[in-house]
């Protein structure tokens, strides 16, 4: 009995995704929505990504320098460790958890509001595949923009680390640069991009599912928004473990 509701929810999710990924009725309208969603979900998130990544990069650099560095360790370890943390986990996984709160709640509340105001019902009555029209541009738009956001996050994190060197004099610029370059593996960058694309699909599709499945009024829209963030975050954590093991 405990598995009945989760399995039922998962089945409804798969059915909705089946309706979503079909050939658009009007390609011109699809591309218009696609560009709109890239701007709304991706471009509008650049500011928060840069801000958070900058300070996290700075904090990581300071913490590593103060707590791990010792006379027996090379001085570039601080920069090396900062780079590995930013590339392998923060910019791909942790940043997507943050975006699940911002973007996921936005998607769920937008589609949920359309459901309770019967706009989705109106689309269905007109013969429009509402799932395809509303959800697919969001998913593809999010999956398109997320690698760009990850790249911005990595860059901002490194800038934050350099800020601690220039302003706080925590580490010399030469040692930090040497650490950031030491045994650099390009695959780690690509691994972050690949993981983030899967996470973007989870964020957009799960949030859209909760919004699309709303029944009731504005209170249910709020609950759907909260549930979408929680579910997306949990699924991202599970996927992170699996993808890290698979790609490493």
Digit-coded pLDDT (tens) for 110-134? 999 988 888 888 888 888 888 888 8
Residue 197 CA to residue 218 CA, distance in Å, equals 31
Residue 100 domain-assigned?
Answer: yes
pLDDT for position 234: 94
Residue 69 domain-assigned?
Answer: yes
- Domain that includes residue 223, residue range: 26-247
How far the first Cα of the chain sits from its last, in Å, is 37
The number of folded domains in the chain is 1
Residue 97 domain-assigned?
Answer: yes
Residue 10 domain-assigned?
Answer: no
Q: What is the pLDDT of residues 170-206, one digit of tens each?
A: 888 888 888 888 888 889 999 999 999 999 999 999 9
Q: What is the pLDDT of residues 15-68, one digit of tens each?
A: 989 888 888 878 888 899 999 999 998 899 999 999 999 999 999 988 888 887
**2 pLDDT tier (thresholds 50, 70, 90):** low
């Amino acid at each position: 009995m405990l598995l009945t509701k989760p399995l039922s929810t998962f089945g409804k999710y798969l059915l909705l995704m089946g309706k979503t990924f079909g050939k658009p009725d009007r390609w011109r309208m699809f591309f218009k929505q696609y560009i709109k969603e890239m701007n709304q979900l991706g471009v509008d998130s650049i500011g928060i990504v840069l801000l958070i990544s900058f300070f996290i990069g700075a904090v990581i650099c300071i913490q590593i320098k103060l707590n791990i560095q010792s006379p027996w360790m090379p001085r570039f370890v601080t920069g090396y460790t900062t780079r590995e943390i930013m590339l392998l986990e923060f910019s791909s996984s942790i940043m997507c958890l943050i975006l699940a709160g911002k973007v996921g709640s936005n998607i769920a509340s937008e589609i949920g509001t359309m459901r309770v105001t019967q706009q989705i019902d109106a689309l269905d009555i007109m013969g429009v595949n509402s799932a395809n029209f509303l959800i697919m541009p969001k998913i593809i738009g999010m999956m398109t923009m997320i690698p760009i956001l990850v790249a911005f996050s990595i860059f901002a994190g490194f800038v934050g680390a350099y800020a601690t060197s220039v302003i706080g004099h925590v580490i010399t610029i030469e040692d930090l640069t040497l650490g950031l370059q030491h045994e650099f593996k390009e695959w780690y960058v690509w691994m972050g991009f690949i993981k983030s694309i899967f996470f973007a699909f989870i964020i957009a599709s799960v949030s859209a599912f909760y919004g699309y499945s709303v029944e009731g009024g504005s209170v249910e829209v709020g609950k759907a928004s909260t549930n979408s963030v929680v579910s997306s975050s949990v699924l991202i954590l599970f996927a992170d473990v699996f993808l890290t093991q698979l790609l490493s």
